[in-house]
Structure 1
Amino acid sequence: MLSRRRFTAQQDYWPAFVDMLTTLVLSIIFLLSVFMLAQFFLSQQITDRDTVLTRLNAQIAELTELLALERANNRDLQDNISLLQSSLTAAETARDELQGLIDQDAGTAGAADQQISTLSGQLSDEKRTSQRALAQVELLNQQIAALRRQIAALEDALSASESRDRESSAKIADLGRRLNVALAQRVQELARYRSDFFGRLREILSQRSDIRVVGDRFVFQSEVLFNSGQADVNPAGQQELDKLAAALLELEGQIPDEIAWVLRVDGHTDARPLSGSGRFRDNWELSAARAISVVKYLVSRGVSPEHLVAAGFGEFQPLEPGDEDAINARNRRIELKLTER
């Protein structure tokens, strides 16, 4: 009677403690996942922005160099124009002097006319050269204005890119908050259903001492379901799995479709090696085959395959270390855990 009371006390205490601990661990994992997701999207946005900024800065530098070159050419043309204007002024001065000589001495009119004609031609050439230079200056001014417009457009594009980056950062932060709320709700809902499911299993399986709760899992000793060295569920085990299937079918009707849950069936063996001459070569194969047999039996009783997962752990996850018969018996087990996909 004392043993039975202690066992009942453990049953009343551990599920609530395990539920709280599981909820805390899942919440921490969820927060870390959301933080990593936000960091990933933010790093992507920052990388894209840095790429755009680098490209825009390169274009601005190139346009600045072109602008400096055009300004230098403009200064050279202005110098040429000044030189031509000086020559034009000198030519006009010489022409005026010759015209004065004409007025003073009519006898030298022929020679003066020839000089005037020569200077007039030179003056016309100088004027044409000056006009071409002015046209080139005007063209350069137009090119400089176009470059300035391009620089202004690039600066506007840079400002728009920075604005989009700020908006994206705000959207990522908002998405993270919404994900936190949604996932926290899902974790709480699944924890509640897990608690109800374990409570139901305790009701229908509590009469057996070889089926117990360990942490956040229900544990069947292998002897409950399988004969020694075998992976086919024996008749006695089928009766116990029928009860489990009924509880799972009831759970499937209660949990909303948007909650992605599974019942994970884990097979474990003791540390004693197999002979290798039988159906299974090692404990890996035996533990996996037993987990698969449980899953297939539950499916045959109507449980949805998408809510079941089978895994084999061999002898590498023992409940207790040691090689005594009692310890080996406890380590040979099938564990059931309700978790998320």
Structure 2
Amino acid sequence: MQINPARRPPVTRPRRFERSRIMLSSALRLLSLAAIVLVTTSGCFLVPGSRLSNCHSRCCELTEKTQALESELANLDAHNRKMATELGQTEQELATLDTQLRAAEDRLANYESERSRFYRRFGRGKATLPRGIGDQLAKLAERYPSLHYDPTSGISKLDTDVLFDEAQAELAGDARQMLAEFATILRSPEAQDLRLMIAGHTDDRRISGGDTRDVYPNNWHLSAARALAVADYLRVHGIDSSRMGVAGFASHQPIAANSTPGNRQKNRRVEVFLVAPDVPVVGWTETLSTVYR
């Protein structure tokens, strides 16, 4: 019987062969996967030991730095908290100082108000001499160089080297005429209410000569004696004693450094302060009635 090739039945493979094929295919896949893993991980196994050691050291170094930075950060945080506390305390102190400043400003405003009232009453550091008296004193000073008149303050300064001989408290003859004319001005009706404070001054030189020191032991005695001599002369020439006061300051109120003969001459002086009747003067009870109640 002839079989038609077109109708030949399919050849069936044995089951044992099919199982082997599957196993082989699985083995190939496993081998391929192993190869891939081997290739992928081969870099790790190929790293030199020295490089691995360096990496380990570097890792330890970075770990230590990290710990140090964390410690520093903790310290900074503690410092920040401390600064915040100090800032709070400082703000409290500033608030206290601000309160004190406002109180001081209030006191200053009160002082300035009192000073303004004082200046309105007595004048802002200017002489309160009657009209004409200042002009007469200025003209007198022009004729007598030993007399220095300050129109701003009303102070007349007399050079003691012209008024007195060295280490003496007796008026020299050349000074008497000038003081006589000075007294004439102060006796004028415009000056009747003015008071006179006469202050004596010396330089810083020690009183020399045993006989002189017996009379004037030190510059206190000499400065007071010279001021008293001027007051006595003015009294003799018509100035009432109740209008005058006398003080001696020795060498303790210089107007120039006692470093040269010229400066020492400036410091040897007698000053006559002309004081208005409403200006308080220490020692005059009628001008400081609140003190002598």
Higher relative contact order, chain-length normalized (CA < 8 Å, sep 6+)? 1
TM-score (norm 2): 0.49
Between Structure 1 and Structure 2, which shows a larger proportion of helix residues?
1
Larger radius of gyration: 2
